[in-house]
Amino acid sequence: MRTDSEALLIAGVGLAQRCWNRFKNESGWTESTPQKIITHQVGRRHSALLFEKLGLDPAKDYQSFDRLGNVGSVSLPATLALARLEGKIKSGDKTALLGIGSGLVSLMLAVEC
C-alpha cells in the first residue's frame, strides 16, 4: 500500500477537529472536562498534533502504542482496559475516547468510568 502519510495526517487531524466540535456539542464537555484522554494514534507526532489542534492538555493523554503497537479497531478498548488495570483511570473519571482512523473516519465517546 502506498500513502502520502503527511497528507493523511493533515486530513485526519482536520476530520478530528470537526468531530471534536460535534462531540462537545453533544456531550456538553469542553477541552478541560476529561480527566484522561485515550486516542487511537500511531505515533508521538500524530498525538502531539492532534492535542495541539484540539486544544487538549497532553498531560491527560494515556497511550499504549509504545507497548501494543497499532492494534487498529481494538486500540481504544484495549488502551482503556490497560489504563484501568494500571490505576490511571479510576471510577467516576471522565474519559474521552478519540478514534481517528487512516480510512478517514472518526469516532469519539464520552465515558464516565
Write the pLDDT tens digit of every residue in 11-67: 889 999 999 999 999 999 999 999 999 998 677 788 899 999 999 999 999 999 888
Angle between helices 44-54 and 5-27 (to 10 degrees): 40
**Count: domains in the chain:** 1
* The model's pTM: 0.89
User: Which range marks the domain in which residue 48 is found?
Assistant: 5-112
Amino acid at 63: Q
Assign 1 a pLDDT band (cuts: 50, 70, 90).
low
Alpha-carbon distance of 77 to 73, in angstroms, equals 9
CATH code of the domain containing 35: 3.40.47.10
Question: 94-101 and 105-112: which strand pairing?
Answer: antiparallel
